[in-house]
Structures are given as structure tokens and as C-alpha cells.
Amino acid sequence: MTLQTETPPQTSSTSKLDRQMIVILDFGSQYSELIARRIRETQVYSEVLSYRTSIEQLQQLAPKGIILSGGPSSVYDPGAPQCDPGIWSLGIPVLGVCYGMQVMVQQLGGGVERAERGEYGKASLHINDATDLLNCVENDTIMWMSHGDSVTHLPEGFELLAHTDNTPQAAIAHHARKLYGVQFHPEVVHSLGGQALIRNFVYNICECEPTWTTDAFVEEAVREIRARVSDKRVLLALSGGVDSSTLAFLLHRAIGDQLTCMFIDQGFMRKGEPERLVKLFQEQFHIPVEYVNARERFLAQVVGITDPEEKRKRIGHEFISVFEEESKRLGPFDYLAQGTLYPDVIESADTNVDAQTGERVAVKIKSHHNVGGLPKDLRFKLIEPLRKLFKDEVRNVGRSIGLPDEIVRRQPFPGPGLAIRIIGEITAERLDILRDADLIVRQEINRSGMYHELWQAFAVLLPVRSVGVMGDQRTYAYPIVLRFVTSEDGMTADWARVPYDLLETVANRIVNEVRGVNRVVYDITSKPPGTIEWE
């Protein structure tokens, strides 16, 4: 469940940092967020909006440039998504990517048809004109193609910039109007010259300045938090992950003791983590944390439950109950702080506005914070200082304001925690077994120096038993699955080719040190077809 956004992306207001903005109009591409991230890497702010965004809204935002994303449609199909044709008269540079290029060509009088041969995967880009968009992009560099349609003839005033063996018009331009199109995807990592092309568009064509920096963001966020909160109190549900921890640091810097951090221990965290988290925040960071021990309550909710979605639902509902009780005990609070990130904003443009005050009221919290939705009568005003940031940007902010690496570079951990790493029913015994196995995994991964090379490395407990032999005696115990994966963003993942010696060490320690386990296996399934977590 994604968190509702404070204002829909289509009507977001700009701050000083956002005035150097590139807008991405999304036609349904799986890479739209990636385009935005690549723009951010140039230290220029970017925002993903719907292709339906009106000319009036674009004029209000006043972007320095516009990018039309790819998409799964064909421009000649009935009902195919189209942007407002007025975009070509705004005087703003436009870059069309794949489907976005085809929309540009079609609306300006060119032709697009089904190609005799589609083009998918890597292709060498043969450059005809190395100026403007393709400046400093090497000839015959590899670009990533994914299209079944191609441009058959160019609109008036357009020129050919580059081609591939299968695509005669792989990059085009109307230099005078600063309109550009590429049939490939410069944003993906497989496009070796892609980032150089993006930098050309951002800096040389759109004439942006690099104002989107971590230090500038922190300075402005602190100023905005102080102005909005004034002398009111703010409540933050702390999970120990990088998002909530960064938010806690940022809020504490801005408003100090007006912030109350609440940590609800639901009993599904890893061995020693709750104690370590509270001690770290209170003793090292000097940020008070209200610790709530609710382990027995949560365990009682999942006894006998084997369906993973039902587990999540029950854990979420119990979190709501505990959160409501504790917030009333500690309150009153005027604001609820949430670690909403920009991908959440993109996915959900819903609002729930108080009719009297005009403030958005919190009725949902992200599932990875263990909350499935707050009661409607628990009325807070939301404050979401991280809502413009991607995950990697949050890590940069956290690092810049003093979060230690153990939090900033912490591997992703699911909100329901070990509850979804125990397949089937959750019991106190199984939790203890998995905690002990998980601790060994973490210790050995850290000892090997591979922790930061892996996206995630963890153990899973299966609800079956197998026969083994230990000390000349027959055993009948649980198996542990090791799941080590590599990934860039968690959307896709591959199983990690770790050294056999490491696997052997982990396996030997688990079967020797964890009572109730006699077998260790390694999951070599990629995502897709599998998922990273087992539930």
C-alpha cells in the first residue's frame, strides 16, 4: 500500500531548488522513474508527470526542459496516448525517448509505421551529426533498443543525427526549435553513451544549472520544516531503516525536542536490533525514542496463520491499534511525519483533504513501515520532507547529516520483518531459530567484506523437516534457505555468485550452532521469475 501524496505531482509547487527543473511526461514506460533519476544525477531536479498534463500546468511549473518517455503503445493505434500538441509551441526544449520520439514525429507531420524488423537489446549507434545532443557521445557506442515501430519520414525541419543497422532514424533533431528524439533508451545502464547524451540535453540544450545538491536540499528542508511546524509537536514512527532514520535526524535538526520518535517492537526484527536501535539513537545521537514492547500482542495476532497476505494484514492492523494507543498516551500531536519517497508520490496522486483547514489528513502509512492505514478519526497533519527524493538521494542526505554507515548503507529489510521470512505459521520457537541463523549470515557476510556488494543477504525458515545425521544420531529438523541477491534497485535481481567457501562457512555454522536446523540450501532463483523475499 503506498502513501498518499501531500499534493498530486501534476500540481506540485516549486521551491528554489526546483526552479531548474526537467519534467518527464510519462506514457507508461517502465523506465520513467529511471529517466528522472538520471536527470537528478546531473544535479538538476526532475519530476515525473502524466502525459495528460496540460499546457497551463506546464507553464505554471516553467520547466527548463521536457522529456517524453517511452511506452508500450503504438502511436497509430486508436486511443494511443498523446500529449497536448501545444507543447511544441512553448519554446521549451523537448526530448522524445522511443515512444516519445514517435509521438513528436507523428504530431509534427512525420510518419511512424510498424517496422519490418523490430530492434531489441544492444545496438551500435552510428553518428551522422555529433553536435548538440550527441556532443561527446562516441561514434558506434552501444545504446539499448526496445521498439517494434520506426519513423518512416521526418517532419519538416528535422535532421538526422544518428542511425543503427536496423533503424534509419535512431536520433533526430530540429535544432532551431530545440526538439530532439531518440529511438533508444539513454537512461538504462546498457546505453554506454546514455548519460553523456542526457547531460548534453540538460546542460547544453536546456541550459540548466546544478542546483539540486544534498547540502542545498538539507538547508531548504530544515527551513521549510521550521516554518511549517512552528512551535507544534511532531510524531514519527521510527523503524530503524534509512528512510525513517534520515527523517528523524532531519526533523531533530530542525525542531529539536518538538519531535517525538516512537519505536514499536513487534517482535519480528533481527537479533539485537531493537535494543541496538534505541541505544544508538538515545546515547549516540541524543534523539529520545519512546520504546514500545508489543511483541506478545503481535505474535498472538499471527498464531496459526499461514497465508502471507493475511500475515501482513494482521500485522498492519495490530500496528494501527498499538500506534493509536501510544500516540494518545504521548500526545497530543499536531503533525505526523512520514518517510514518503518520490516513487510513492509517482504511484499515488490521491489526496484526502480536511474540508475545514485544507490540510491533507493522514489515513495511510506505507506498508514497509508496518502500517496498513490509520483510523480516520486519528487526525494528524502530514509532514513529508523526503517526498521529493529517490532512495539513493535519501542515503546521500542521511550521510550528509551524520547518519552512520550501518544505517545509511543498511540492506533493505521488510516491514513485517522475519514474519515473512518464516514460511507458514509463525511461532516463538521458529522466530528464535531464524534470528540465530540470520545473525550468522550477517556476521559472515560482514566478515567476508561482501555486505555492501549485495543488495540483500538473509535466511529463510521453511515449515518442513528433513532427516539428518548429527553425532551418529538421526535428526529431524528444519532447513534454512540462504537468499543472497545482487540488484541496482530491487525491481530485478540476480542470485549472487558468492564464493563457495563463504557458503560452506555459513552452512557449517548454522547447522552446528542453531538448535533445530540440520540442513542449509542456497536459492539460485532470479527476479523474475521469483521475488527477492519468499513471502
Encode 324-352: b = buried (16+ Cβ within 10 Å), e = exposed. Answer: eebbeeeeebbbbbbbbbbbbbbebbeee
Written as nine digits, the cell of 466 is: 528433513
Contact yes or no for 3/364 (Cβ under 8 A)? yes
Q: What are phi and psi of 262, to 5 degrees?
A: -115, 125
Give the whole-angstrom CA distance, residue 50 versus residue 53: 6
- Whether 185 is catalytic is yes
Residues 6+ away with beta carbon under 8 Å from 35 = 24, 29, 46, 48, 67, 69, 97, 187
Q: What are phi and psi of 223, to 5 degrees?
A: -65, -45
- Whether 136 is catalytic is no
Written as nine digits, the cell of 258 is: 518538538
Give the whole-angstrom CA distance, residue 532 versus residue 281: 30
Written as nine digits, the cell of 124 is: 551500435
Cross-strand partners of 236: 261, 337
Contact yes or no for 51/96 (Cβ under 8 A)? no
Residues belonging to the chain: 535
Nearest to 419 by CA among 374, 370, 466: 370
Percent helix, percent strand, percent coil in the chain, to nearest 5: 35, 25, 40
DSSP 8-class letter at 89: G
Contact yes or no for 4/364 (Cβ under 8 A)? yes
Contact yes or no for 238/265 (Cβ under 8 A)? no
Give the whole-angstrom CA distance, residue 44 versus residue 140: 28
Q: Of these residues, 33, 187, 393, 444, which one is catalytic?
A: 187
Give residue 188's identity as a one-letter amino acid code: V
Give the whole-angstrom CA distance, residue 360 versus residue 366: 16
Q: Of these residues, 98, 206, 208, 261, which one is catalytic?
A: 98
Q: Is the omega angle on the peptide bond into residue 412 within 30 degrees of 0, that is, cis? A: no
Determine how many CB atoms are found less than 10 A away from the CB of residue 378: 17
Could you give the residue numbers annotated as active site?
98, 185, 187
